[in-house]
Structure 1
Amino acid sequence: MGTEKIEGFQHKIGIRFQDLKLLQHALIHSSYANERRMTKEKNNERLEFLGDAVLELVSSDYLYRTYKNEPEGKLTKLRASLVCEPTLAGCARDIDLGKYIKLSKGEDMTGGRDRDSILSDAFEAVIGAIYLDQGLETAGKFIEKYLFQDVENKVLFFDAKTNLQEIVQGEGKGSLSYELIKEEGPDHQKVFTVEARIGDRVIGTGSGRSKKNAEQHAAFEAIKRYKKQAASENEDGHSCI
């Protein structure tokens, strides 16, 4: 990675590395290393392993201190929603991490820079690099800045389909289904658009890189709509969905 580009990334995340090689290492995907016949330890998988452990510790500490009255089971569920692949990929997109990752030509051409698995792994690798370079405190501040914002919505999104199903069943207004209404883009960069429906009525619409992700977004949209309307419609004695 060019000096100017890596300087730009450091500026974006607000951290200046003492050892730039650690940051460069965190951004080397296995496909790039394989294409250039590097040894396995040159890719970012070991840093990802370390970053995953740091992330689990920091997120556990945060949840323990923030949700003081919640039992272990609820804390485990909350943590799972924060450290899952889609959530971490979203955090990676917030810092434009995809454009800094070193990929093979083939991986790059097939949409690797916006693939959830690659983005989430690189985000964890960056955490690992920060930890090695500047310790747990700085790594924790990075995680707090980019992951612990809007936690309630992250948790809601993680369980959106399950939560929506429970809401629909509680309302007793019909069965919930998801309908694919549109596919756009080339095979390696498809965007799917899905509607969440009760019968023929659309209650939420969402798009994503997979049908499953699009369904999750549609369910999340339906729940947000439900929560927004719940108070006023309940006062009138009407159903919200």
Structure 2
Amino acid sequence: MKIKRGQKRMEELEQELASQYDLHFDNEQLLQEALTQANYLNEHPEVEGNDYQRLEFLGDAVMQQSTAVYLFKRFPDWDEGRLTELRIAMVQTRSFAALSRELHLDRYIRLGRGEELSGARQRDSLLEDIWEAFIGALYLDQGQAVVMRFLEQILFAKIDEGFFEQFVDYKSKLQEYLQKDGPVAIKYQKLSEKPLANNDQIFEVEVMVNQQVLATGQGKSTKAAEKDAARNAYQQLTTSAEKK
């Protein structure tokens, strides 16, 4: 019964992929392997196949290469540094967990009982690995052209939505930029804290270097407002430098 139920769940996933993304796996075993954790196989010796780890290795390389090719073609006027910066943000494994959930891969992972009880199905580190394994499986089954078409739908389209901004550490980037010629004093200072209608609060923070205000930012926490201020300052400084 367990195997039959597992086969039914794979069919459900395949139907979902076909209807939402026009994806069709010829080799269902590859899709199953991408969603199979090692402990599941240990607990089900009757199940043939491998766990996701080899496909994860391949998927990592495919993601790096596919993203680099897309950015190279889309932004012909960007220099190497700017292309690298965006590529790094896009292939941050933290974003892969969000993509796994968007694709509902978390619902179909084959987990060992102990891992299931420990909440591994919602563990970001596992979902990041599963995303890469899924991409590796798709590459082997359908080839690079299909992978690129799929990534244009679910990943590359998010560039214009600002999706990858959340994975950039702008406070560190601003610090590196400001201290490239030597140490400077960087300070974040809260300016205000205002209540919102839904019982949330909005914080406003300014970032200063050597007592000079560079930019302000807002967020629903002091930390979020500091990141927003750092992002505004970094983008203003780098944009100004490019124009010179």
TM range (shorter): 0.5 to 0.7
Residue 150 (1) aligns with residue 146 (2): no
For residues 163 and 139 of structure 1, the distance between their equivalents in structure 2, rounded to whole angstroms, comes to: 33
User: What secondary structure is seen at the aligned counterpart in 1 of 2:156?
Assistant: coil
Q: Taking structure 1 as reference, are residues 161 and 196 closer, same or farther at Cα in structure 2, changes over 3 Å only?
A: farther
Larger-Rg structure: 2
For residues 81 and 71 of structure 1, the distance between their equivalents in structure 2, rounded to whole angstroms, comes to: 16
For residues 110 and 138 of structure 2, the distance between their equivalents in structure 1, rounded to whole angstroms, comes to: 18
For residues 226 and 90 of structure 2, the distance between their equivalents in structure 1, rounded to whole angstroms, comes to: 16
The one-letter code sitting in structure 1 at the alignment partner of 2:188 is S
Residue equivalent to 1:7: 11
Aligned-pair CA distance for 1:36: 4.1
Question: Percent sequence identity over matched residues?
Answer: 32
The one-letter code sitting in structure 2 at the alignment partner of 1:162 is K
Aligned-pair CA distance for 1:221: 8.4
**CA RMSD, Structure 1 to Structure 2 (Å):** 3.8
The one-letter code sitting in structure 2 at the alignment partner of 1:159 is V
User: What secondary structure is seen at the aligned counterpart in 1 of 2:220?
Assistant: strand
Equivalent pairs, count: 197
Residue 65 (1) aligns with residue 78 (2): no
Range that drifts further, 143-152 or 154-163:
154-163
| Counterparts of residues 211-226 of structure 1 (less than 5 Å) | 218=224, 222=228
Q: Which of residues 171, 186, 198 is equivalent to 1:162?
A: 171
For residues 80 and 86 of structure 1, the distance between their equivalents in structure 2, rounded to whole angstroms, comes to: 11
Q: Taking structure 1 as reference, are residues 112 and 174 closer, same or farther at Cα in structure 2, changes over 3 Å only?
A: same
The one-letter code sitting in structure 1 at the alignment partner of 2:69 is D
User: What secondary structure is seen at the aligned counterpart in 2 of 1:60?
Assistant: helix
For residues 187 and 167 of structure 2, the distance between their equivalents in structure 1, rounded to whole angstroms, comes to: 24
Residue 205 (1) aligns with residue 209 (2): no
Aligned-pair CA distance for 1:139: 1.6
For the 8 Å contact 1:101–1:113, the answer to whether it is kept is: yes
Aligned-pair CA distance for 1:220: 9.2
Q: Taking structure 1 as reference, are residues 52 and 219 closer, same or farther at Cα in structure 2, changes over 3 Å only?
A: farther
Q: Taking structure 1 as reference, are residues 62 and 196 closer, same or farther at Cα in structure 2, changes over 3 Å only?
A: farther
Q: Alpha-carbon deviations, 1:80-127, whole Å to 9, x = none?
A: 111111111111111111010111222222221121111111111111
Q: Taking structure 1 as reference, are residues 162 and 50 closer, same or farther at Cα in structure 2, changes over 3 Å only?
A: same
Residue equivalent to 1:175: 188
For residues 134 and 61 of structure 1, the distance between their equivalents in structure 2, rounded to whole angstroms, comes to: 18
Q: Taking structure 1 as reference, are residues 203 and 219 closer, same or farther at Cα in structure 2, changes over 3 Å only?
A: closer
Point out where structure 1 has 5 or more consecutive residues left out of the alignment.
178-193, 207-214, 228-241
